[in-house]
């Protein structure tokens, strides 16, 4: 925990946004040597004279012909202008992404700004769960009722609980280092997903957790881990009626730009002081990516490009009822949904499911370039990566039977198993070898000491042997040395719960709900026609040529007509329940990722349905009020 003085220092640094990015490490400024034509130079000189606030909202954009330049308002950057900008920066994503990232990094480094880094440590992490086994674990109504009653009675200590304890992770420790891409390997049910959830701060509250996870030496309650890190699930949960571009744009809008605006302000100030002219396209990109309140950020177009989703950007995602993109494309959308955000630590769970090896290689390579150049932190869980994809990673974490068998550089993993007496065959993929060598069924075939009899080596022995291996010793020494919090960049950890203001969150959710209502307009139109037909039937049933109001029977007819009308309006709204229930998994996912609070989702959904309900009631009353005989005057 931070003492009060340290908390105050970090808080004051966050309030003074530009001071976070200042580094008095000496004069590192240099003049740009780029040849400029007179017209562009004059435009840039006029731009430099503006105050910082206005300067980061203006840019010099090259026209479609590639010759003419014009001054533009960054917040009003059009769709075609963004597309042309990305095309110039990334003509071929596989070849140009690294060059583009190096240009970004070079611009930041040239003025001596430090990019925040995150080191994640987990020490003596043990996670247990209690669950029913056998037939009691099946999700039936009878089991649910029995489990609920039994849980209540066991809480009162009347009946012992029949839940069995299950160990998910067993006393594991390690370090996830920045600027290094880490591969998490392990057979199914080894605890990979639980480890990623623990690192991302998204563990279920019902689990019993001991040990700790820290970011740059700070524990989870000192910042907001859900926004500091990004967890990418292996399940593809999306709204089928939205296109790929709209899904990524909504995600980018809700997550905001993080500390990008503060960094850009300081960057612009330093460049002006040093008389440095940046590349106009890079300048426009960074300004557009850092400004909040845009319905579609340029980052969305960038992620679409590097994930190969441009071909289906304007195609609906689809679901069981709506035809949409393929399973592999939907998996890439799940990955892109978090990549568009500002999180600097990424934990990705089985992102290659449904993808071919070539696409997986391209995506992992793009992530690797981002991690290496922009000083990010990433752990990616893959089940059976191809050899060329495996070679992209810097570190390997091998987990089996709830224990870590190996964690360290990729180059030393085969050396460790050779010390243990196992060798990977020449034509065998290393990733496949690592997942099979701890298995009782497959271990024997890799035994290399032919002069010694083979005996099965359990996972526990591997884990203990790793502690005495030189990589394990080095890891233990690093864990024994606490992280120096003074080295943590004040902008590395996020303390704000949501990425944008409450007003912007409400606007974003309202815009999405309105879009979904337009996409489902057939449902609302059909409901109106259905109401008209029901009204016509009701008119014949309660036709009142004479307004008899004398007996109780006459009153019963009126009450019957009123009840019939109320029931029709009520059941007419039931059709929206199915659409609401279908969207619930997406709502839960985005709420837990802190895209928005529940009220920001509920209020637009409620308010935008009011005009529809009024229209339905108006149609019913207008058609039936006079004919059913509620009043002899049509004007009423």
User: In the structure encoding, which two tokens stand for residue 14, read together?
Assistant: 């966050």
In sequence order, what are the residues at sequence separation of 6 or more whose Cβ sits closer than 8 angstroms to the Cβ of residue 538?
A: 561, 564, 565, 568, 624, 628
Find where tokens 């271990």 sit: 443
In sequence order, what are the residues at sequence separation of 6 or more whose Cβ sits closer than 8 angstroms to the Cβ of residue 71?
A: 43, 46, 47, 58, 59, 60, 61
628 membership: H or E segment, kind and range: none
Find where tokens 């949501």 sit: 498
> Residue 368: what pLDDT?
92
CA distance 632 to 636: 8
Largest CA-CA distance found in the chain, in angstroms, rounded: 110
> Residue 161: what pLDDT?
78
- What's the Rg (C-alpha) of the chain? 30
**φ, ψ of residue 380 in degrees (nearest 5):** -120, 125
User: In the structure encoding, which two tokens stand for residue 449, read together?
Assistant: 């000491």
Half-sphere exposure of 73 (CA within 13 A, CB side): 3
**Quick check: helix, strand or coil at residue 127?**
strand
Walking along the chain (636 residues) 10 residues at a time, the average pLDDT comes out as 44 44 44 52 70 72 65 76 83 83 88 88 90 81 85 81 85 91 89 91 88 90 89 90 92 83 83 81 82 75 88 89 87 90 89 85 90 91 90 92 90 90 88 89 86 87 90 91 86 86 91 92 90 88 70 80 87 85 92 92 91 88 80 65
- Give, rounded to a whole angstrom, the gap between the first and last alpha carbons of the chain: 70
User: In the structure encoding, which two tokens stand for residue 437, read together?
Assistant: 């060598």
CA distance 244 to 248: 6
In sequence order, what are the residues at sequence separation of 6 or more whose Cβ sits closer than 8 angstroms to the Cβ of residue 275?
A: 29, 31
> Residue 33: what pLDDT?
40
CB 241 within 8 A of CB 316: yes
CA distance 98 to 86: 14
CB 508 within 8 A of CB 501: no
146 torsion bin: left (phi>0), alpha (psi -120 to 50), beta (else): alpha
- Identify any residues that bridge with 398 across adjacent strands, giving them in sequence order: 185, 406
133 torsion bin: left (phi>0), alpha (psi -120 to 50), beta (else): beta
- Identify any residues that bridge with 122 across adjacent strands, giving them in sequence order: 174, 213
CB 459 within 8 A of CB 311: no
Q: What are the angstrom distances between the C-alpha of 366 and each of 181, 305, 346, 402?
A: 11, 11, 13, 30
> Residue 243: what pLDDT?
92
CA distance 625 to 528: 17
CB crowding 184-214: b at 16 or more within 10 Å, else e: bbbeeebbbbbbbbbbbbbbeeebebeeebb
CA nearest 372: which of 107, 192, 115?
115
């Amino acid at each position: 925990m931070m003492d009060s003085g340290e908390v105050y220092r970090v808080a004051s640094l966050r309030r003074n946004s530009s001071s976070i990015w200042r580094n008095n490490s000496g004069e590192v400024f240099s003049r740009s040597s780029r040849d400029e034509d007179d017209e562009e130079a004059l435009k840039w000189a006029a731009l430099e004279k503006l105050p910082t606030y206005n300067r980061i909202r203006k840019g010099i954009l090259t026209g479609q012909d590639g010759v003419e330049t014009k001054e533009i308002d960054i917040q009003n950057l059009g769709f075609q202008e963004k597309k042309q900008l990305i095309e110039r920066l990334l003509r071929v994503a596989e070849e140009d992404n690294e060059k583009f990232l190096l240009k970004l990094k070079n611009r930041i480094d040239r003025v001596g700004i430090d990019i925040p880094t995150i080191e994640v440590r987990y020490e003596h992490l043990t996670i247990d769960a209690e669950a029913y086994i056998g037939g009691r674990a099946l999700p039936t109504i009878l089991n649910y009722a029995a489990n609920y009653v039994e849980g209540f009675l066991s809480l009162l200590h009347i009946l012992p609980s029949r839940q069995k304890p299950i160990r998910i992770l067993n006393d594991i420790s390690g370090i996830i280092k920045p600027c290094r891409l880490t591969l998490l390997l392990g057979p199914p049910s080894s605890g990979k997903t639980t480890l990623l959830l623990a690192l991302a701060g998204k563990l279920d509250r019902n689990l019993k957790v001991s040990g700790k996870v820290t970011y740059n030496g700070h524990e989870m309650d000192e910042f907001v881990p859900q926004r500091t890190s990004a967890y990418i699930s292996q399940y593809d949960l999306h709204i089928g009626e939205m296109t790929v571009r709209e899904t990524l744009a909504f995600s980018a809008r809700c997550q905001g730009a993080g500390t990008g605006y503060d960094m850009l302000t300081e960057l612009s100030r330093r460049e002006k002081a040093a008389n440095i002219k940046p590349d106009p396209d890079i300048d426009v990109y960074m300004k557009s990516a850092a400004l909040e309140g845009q319905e579609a950020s340029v980052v969305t177009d960038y992620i679409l490009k590097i994930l190969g989703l441009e071909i289906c950007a304007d195609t609906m995602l689809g679901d069981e009822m709506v035809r949409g993109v393929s399973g592999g494309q939907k998996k890439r959308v799940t990955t892109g949904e978090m990549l568009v955000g500002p999180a600097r630590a990424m934990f990705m769970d089985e992102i290659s499911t449904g993808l071919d090896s070539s696409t997986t290689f391209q995506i992992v390579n793009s992530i690797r370039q981002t991690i290496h150049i922009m000083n990010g932190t990433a752990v990616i869980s893959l089940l059976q990566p191809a050899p060329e994809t495996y070679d992209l990673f810097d570190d390997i974490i091998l987990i089996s039977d709830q224990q870590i068998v190996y964690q360290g550089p990729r180059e030393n993993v085969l050396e460790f198993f050779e010390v243990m007496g196992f060798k990977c065959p020449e034509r065998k993929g290393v990733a496949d070898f690592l997942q099979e060598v701890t298995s009782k069924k497959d271990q024997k075939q890799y035994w290399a000491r032919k002069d010694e009899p083979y005996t099965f080596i359990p996972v526990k022995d591997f884990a203990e042997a790793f502690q005495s291996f030189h990589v394990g010793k080095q890891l233990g020494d690093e864990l024994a040395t606490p992280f120096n919090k003074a080295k943590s960049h004040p902008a590395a950890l996020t303390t704000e719960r949501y990425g944008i203001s409450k007003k912007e969150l409400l606007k974003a959710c309202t815009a999405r709900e309105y879009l979904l209502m337009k996409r489902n307009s057939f449902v609302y139109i059909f409901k109106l026609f259905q109401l008209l037909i029901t009204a016509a039937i009701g008119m014949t049933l309660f036709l009142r040529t004479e307004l008899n109001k004398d007996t109780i029977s006459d009153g019963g007819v009126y009450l019957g007509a009123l009840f019939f009308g109320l029931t029709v309006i009520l059941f007419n709204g039931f059709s929206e329940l199915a659409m609401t229930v279908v969207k619930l998994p997406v709502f839960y996912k985005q709420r837990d990722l802190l895209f928005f609070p529940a009220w920001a989702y509920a209020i637009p959904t409620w308010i935008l349905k009011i005009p529809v309900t009024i229209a339905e009631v108006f149609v019913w009353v207008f058609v039936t009020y006079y004919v059913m005989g509620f009043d002899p005057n049509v004007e009423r």
